[in-house]
Amino acid sequence: MPIALTQSSYGKSDIRLVKVTRRPDVHNVCDLTIDVGLEGDFAKAHTAGDNTGLLATDTMRNTVYALAQAEPIDNIEPFAVRLVEHFAGASPMVTRARVSIVEHSWTRLEADGSPHPHAFQRGNGGNRVAMAYGNSVDVRVEAGIDDLLVLRTTGSGWEGYVNDRYTSLPETSDRILATAISTRWTYGAPPEDFGQAWHQVRRVILEAFGDHYSPSVQFTLHRMGKAVLEARPEIERIHFSLPNIHHLLYDLERFGLDNDNEIFQATTEPYGLIEGTIERTRDPVPIAANGPAAAAAPQT
């Protein structure tokens, strides 16, 4: 039976880039982790040790820093697209490039009640994510959020599920719901302002997380996704990955103490993982005996 290399790719991961944009009265910080990957005809490197036409991963790292110096990074999505366009044309052997970027947010501190011009603290809830993939002609863009920690102390339950001989979890109509939201969405067309779009999606997700009674993480996942698609018509689909960060009511009865949904044990593992994709669907055109055109014709 013949043996063949059927797929290969390579790139540079965890490129840490911090860019300080210095203006006379204020500094801005852009803190990124970037992954670059290339796909193409790299078979000879694997099977014959022939590196002709390969771009060194060290060169990929250097290119990221050089392009970051040459161009503004007001939003990470256009920067990801710029990197894809460059790497897709870096060698004739490359057929597709992909770039993913995680932005680690820094919040400006205050000085005498006003924003400090050059002092920051890390984080404001969730990391901004962008990914671009394609070639020098056609590039697709995704955006997203990682590690957006959210929690509700009530308004959530888990009832009506299968109870068999191995079930130990009691049903409840009042529990803590906590998760670390990880989400990716795909643009059918680029928004006018990537930054404004990202912040609105984040705001819509947070509002939808807390605006209803949640019978399950699944129900809340769908509600958040539906709200995003209704708010942003240029988004085609959105995917969520929601780990259920369990908060278990701790048994204090053995110590003669009451516990009226006040004392919980937070656990990290094992955990439930709920994932789903919500996307726009279009009703299929009905096919009649005489073809689509006949089906679409008005009936008299």
Catalytic-residue membership of 12: yes
- Kindly list the structural domains of the chain, giving each domain's residue range(s) and its CATH number in brackets, ordered by start: 8-112+120-137 (3.10.270.10), 139-300 (3.10.270.10)
Please state the pTM of the whole predicted model: 0.86
Question: Which residues are within 8 A (CB) of 25 and not within 5 positions of it... i.e. 6 or more apart?
Answer: 117
Q: What angle do CA 190, 181, 130 make, to 5 degrees?
A: 30
Nearest Cα to 133, choosing from 60, 182, 83? 83
Digit-by-digit pLDDT tens for the chain (300 residues) are: 889 888 999 999 999 999 999 999 999 999 999 999 999 999 999 999 999 999 999 999 999 999 999 988 999 999 999 999 999 999 899 999 999 999 999 998 988 889 899 999 987 789 999 999 998 789 999 999 999 999 999 999 999 999 999 999 889 999 999 999 999 999 999 999 999 999 999 999 999 999 999 999 999 999 999 999 999 999 999 999 999 999 999 999 999 999 998 999 999 889 999 999 999 987 654 555 444 444 344 443
Nearest Cα to 69, choosing from 58, 56, 57, 82? 82
Selected catalytic residue, list 57, 118, 153, 222? 57
Alpha-carbon distance of 62 to 84, in angstroms, equals 15
